[in-house]
Amino acid sequence: MSLNDIHTPVLLERCVELLAPALQRDGAVLVDATLGMGGHSEALLERFPGITLVGLDRDQDALRIAAQRLARFGDRVTFVHTVYDGITAAVHGAGLASADAILFDLGVSSLQLDVADRGFAYAQDAPLDMRMDQTSGTTAADVLATYSEGELRRIFERYGEEKLAGRYARAIIAARADAPIDRSGRLVDILQAATPAALKQAGHPAKRVFQSLRIEVNGELAALERAIPSALDLLPVGGRIVVMSYQSLEDRLVKRALAEATASTAPSGLPVELPEHAPRFRLIVKGAEQASPEEVARNPRATPVRLRAAERLRDAA
């Protein structure tokens, strides 16, 4: 199966359109902070032959596939094995002072969902790993084996907005006393059994719990909270950032960071806004854009996407 068959980049043409004004000059630098299998980057490298790319990913399998996909672009591409909050070090480590365009395509990738033994998908029985970087860190099975009932409830409530968080946490504590919960199929069975019959038609009971475990294992929200301000700081005047989120917690963090960057810092009551108080950035899309019904029909994984974008107007004071 070809890469085009297993990986369809979300909102590809819209991303190209939004980043294009920042990539027109020869020598412009694109940072793909979530390289994945390289679909967005491939299109941008093709359409802007004068640019170079710094591609970041914590998943070494993704980097390996992207390296094969982008090999024809030679030394125009630099690959960096890092989490996206390492964006500043990655850019500087590549010998660059700034980045003209930055793309974030957040969440779990097609590669991670489709490889059963990664444990991300509740529809497939597999070891409960869920690490995006399989070279280090705590697995989902470790979390289920060691967290207290209160800690499990906290992550299910915070990262999954799960109304049955307490009930599921109690069920997990009881079940692990009998045997380790180290496979996705066993966890799904536990959650199914703990779900009241009246609620079983309201979506799969494992969806929000699996999301919560994935976010906890990979520290996704904490990394994102650091990454967006760091990325904004790397952009020169005219530089652009595009961020695609797939769940509400991510989107809220992105929305808040961009709101702060596009706000005036003038003190309340000041009759005239001084230049040093003017917004550093402007939003270049209204609110959060979604995929069209046509794209969702072609690629169901585009259904939850929320895209936000901004452009730098002035240097920091």
3-105+220-312 placed in CATH 3.40.50.150:
yes
Count other C-beta atoms under 10 Å from residue 123's C-beta.
13
Q: Look at 200 and 315; give whichever has higher pLDDT.
A: 315
110 — pLDDT class (breaks 50, 70, 90): low
Q: What's the average model confidence in pLDDT over 267-271? A: 66
pLDDT at 56 over 70: yes
Question: Is 84 labelled a binding residue?
Answer: yes
**Cβ-count burial of 268 within 10 angstroms (0-12 exposed, 13-18 middle, 19+ buried)?**
exposed
Q: What's the average model confidence in pLDDT over 160-180? A: 96
H or E element, residue 52: strand 52-57
Q: What's the average model confidence in pLDDT over 164-173? A: 96
In the prediction, which pLDDT does 317 show? 60
Residue pLDDT, tens place only, 179-234: 999 999 999 999 999 999 888 776 777 889 999 999 999 999 999 999 999 999 99
Tell me what percent of the residues of the chain surpass a pLDDT of 70.
Answer: 88
Question: Is 39 labelled a binding residue?
Answer: yes
117-218 placed in CATH 1.10.10.60:
no
Q: What's the average model confidence in pLDDT over 31-55? A: 97
Residue 128 near residue 181, CB atoms below 8 Å: yes
Q: Look at 255 and 135; give whichever has higher pLDDT.
A: 255
- Check if 3-105+220-312 and 117-218 are the same fold: no
Mean pLDDT of the chain: 90
Q: Of the given ranges (6-15, 19-28, 77-86), which has the lowest mean pLDDT?
A: 6-15
- Beta bridge pairs of residue 178: none
The alpha carbon of residue 84 and the mean position of all alpha carbons in its chain are separated, in whole angstroms, by 9
pLDDT at 21 over 90: yes
Q: Look at 277 and 45; give whichever has higher pLDDT.
A: 45
Tell me what percent of the residues of the chain surpass a pLDDT of 90.
Answer: 75
Question: Is 57 labelled a binding residue?
Answer: yes
pLDDT at 111 over 60: no
Q: What is the DSSP string of 235-290?
A: --TT-EEEEEESSHHHHHHHHHHHHHHTS--PPTT-SS--GGGS-SEEESSSS-B-
Residue 165, phi then psi, degrees to nearest 5: -55, -45
In the prediction, which pLDDT does 70 show? 97
Q: What is the DSSP string of 22-48?
A: GS-STT-EEEETT-TTSHHHHHHHHH-
Residue 101, phi then psi, degrees to nearest 5: -145, 140
Residue pLDDT, tens place only, 122-161: 667 889 988 888 787 899 999 999 999 999 999 999 999 9
* Side chain identity, residue 132: M
pLDDT at 40 over 50: yes
Residue pLDDT, tens place only, 277-294: 688 999 999 999 999 999
Tokens (6 digits) for 293:
């019904």
| Residue 11 DSSP symbol | T
In the prediction, which pLDDT does 134 show? 79
Question: Is 92 labelled a binding residue?
Answer: no
Residue 63: C-alpha distances to residues 36, 71, 132, 224 (Å): 7, 12, 12, 20
Q: What's the average model confidence in pLDDT over 54-63? A: 93
Question: Is 38 labelled a binding residue?
Answer: yes
Per the listing, tokens 């989107």 go with 251
Per the listing, tokens 């059994």 go with 193
In sequence order, what are the residues at sequence separation of 6 or more whose Cβ sits closer than 8 angstroms to the Cβ of residue 250?
106, 107, 220, 221, 224
Q: How far is the C-alpha of 59 from the C-alpha of 135, rounded, in Å? A: 9
Sorted by where each begins, the domain ranges of the chain are: 3-105+220-312, 117-218
**Rounded to the nearest 5 degrees, what angle is found at the Cα of 156, between the Cα atoms of 150 and 158?**
95
Residue pLDDT, tens place only, 60-99: 988 999 999 999 999 999 999 999 999 999 999 999 999 9
